[in-house]
Amino acid sequence: HQQEQQLHVRKQKEIKSGDLGDDEDGSGGGGGLEGTDPEENNSVHLKRRVGLVSGVALIVGTMIGSGIFVSPSGLLVRTGSIGISFLVWTACGLLSLCGALAYAELGTMNTSSGAEYAYFMDAFGAPPAFLFSWVSTLVLKPSQMAIISLSFAQYAVEAFAADCDPPEEVVKIVALLAIILILLVNCYSVNLATGVQNAFTAAKLIAILVVIAGGSYKLIQGNTQHLKGAFDTMDGGTVNIGRLATAFYTGLWAYDGWNNLNYVTEEIKNPSKNLPRSIMIGIPLVTLCYALINVSYLAVMSPSEMIESEAVAVTFGNRILGVMAWLMPLSVAISTFGSANGTLFAAGRLCFAASREGHLLDCLSYVHVRRFTPAPGLIFHSLVAGAMVLSGNIDSLIDFFSFTAWIFYGGAMLALLVMRRTRPNHPRPYKCPLMIPVLVLGISAYLIVAPIIDKPQIEYLYAAGFILAGMLVYLPFVKYGYVPKFMEGVNAFLQMLLEVAPTAAAFD
């Protein structure tokens, strides 16, 4: 069998006469699979460089961003008691795990990059897949990036301007600089990007351990008073079923990113094993961290102090770390920077996958000829994210982000159920229990409908309208394939300017 494989590899090498040689960053990816995987030898192609560790880091390092350091107060306000808020935190973790297990089935069934995009193509065909790529390249992914880099900037600046509120312009400029830096890293090399991701993930896990250790110390000393009467409703707090959904939005933002690895399946080594494994290690790990951190916060401050605090983690640091209090804003900055890096990494691949099918501008599917990074897609995302940083404010963005995102997460569950019927015999290296997608589908329906019933807001209508407006673009430009004449020139110019070329797959 081995001989056969070697022969196959050699043949592939001969066929690809346009082989552009070794990758320039020369790191070789360090994986045993490299060189034996026929796909490695494509001329211009994204390479398989993400192993189990990087896979877990791409999930954990993206999920843990600003949420856990900031949202606990918001969640407390929306649930009215620490007991319910703790339940919501845990439920969000379970929901993310269930969602991700369903994505593990989808991602091992169809191993092309692009997550929802690829699964919608399989299950529902081109129009819904296009609508997804339309919304996520123009709104979802850039808004994630914008929110996270703004939080990064807020903490990074705060570390230097301890005694006064940092001016808004400075925060925005720092956010833009962060986006540019992350863009450069990601365009430079895939290994550098995953290296940054791994290092930052390790750093933020250490920061989380510090918080948990500090909290445990206080609890052992007997500071358990805030944990008593957990389900007593605080002053002014009420929960109803619609408000609970928005509490979930806040919590789920902190967990968002659980599907991050599915965007880059084409670059995972041995995806049918490593994708489910990374999910099963990563998401429970994050859930555990979040649960413990919440208890730690309460060991140090009361629920009402938590609500008043702008950033719980920083208040926590000031109370317990003494002269080392600066560690907290620094950790949040590290955490958000890493999360933004993972977000851009995935966003570039989504753009790449959708434009390869002719659903977005052709040039967005090009790959750098020596560095094998999807540079145009990355640049495009950063530009949109930059525009959002300049014009946007983060708070309301999160609710509308979650609203729109859960429409598509629900859609992916439907895709799984549909394909169980339409492709019953398709190989499924990982198969999740049927209950899971059914449950997640039900919950996502609740998450979409409940906030509208609770408090109808025109913005929800805008979000839905924007999704549908995609159809107006789809018909002329995608279905009937109208391409304005000048695009040829633009494509050629970009190829020379950025040293990018269409991938081998684009020719298939």
CB of 263 to ligand ARG, least distance (A): 9
Nearest-approach distance from CB 495 to ligand ARG, in angstroms: 29
Contacts for 230 with CB less than 8 Å, ≥ 6 apart: 81, 82, 83, 86
Nearer to ligand ARG, 31 or 317 (CB): 317
Instruction: CB nearer to ligand ARG: give 260 or 404.
Output: 260
- Our CB check for ligand ARG shows the closer of 68 and 494 to be 68
Rounded to whole angstroms, the maximal C-alpha distance in the chain is: 74
Provide, rounded to whole angstroms, the least separation between the CB of residue 284 and ligand ARG.
16
Based on CB atoms, which residue is closest to ligand ARG, 314 or 363?
Answer: 314
Write out the two tokens for 406.
């859960």
Q: How far is residue 217's CA from residue 120's CA, in Å, rounded to a whole number?
A: 49
Query: Which of 113, 141, 126, 119 is closest to 474 using CA atoms?
Result: 126
Secondary structure (3-state) at 358: coil
Helix axes 486-498, 375-391, angle to 10 degrees: 100
CB of 59 to ligand ARG, least distance (A): 10
Q: Which residue from 195, 97, 202 is spatially nearest to 436, judged by alpha carbons?
A: 97
DSSP 3-state of 166: coil
CB of 154 vs ligand ARG, minimal distance in Å:
12
The C-alpha angle with vertex 11 and arms to 429 and 51, in degrees rounded to 5, equals 40
CA nearest to 328, candidates 316, 340, 337, 341: 316
62 or 278, CB closer to ligand ARG? 62
Q: How far is the CB of 348 from ligand ARG (least distance, A)?
A: 12
| Residue 144 beta carbon to ligand ARG: minimum distance, rounded to whole angstroms | 4
- Please state, in angstroms and rounded to a whole number, the distance separating the CA atoms of residues 175 and 181: 10
The residue with its CB nearest to ligand ARG is 65
Distance of CA 508 to the CA centre of its chain: 29
CB nearer to ligand ARG: pick between 208 and 363 = 208
291, 89 in Cβ contact below 8 A? yes
Instruction: Return the number of the residue (144 or 272) whose C-beta is nearest ligand ARG.
Output: 144
Q: Which residues bind ligand ARG (CB under 6 A)?
A: 62-63, 65-67, 144, 148, 253-254, 256-257, 260, 339, 343
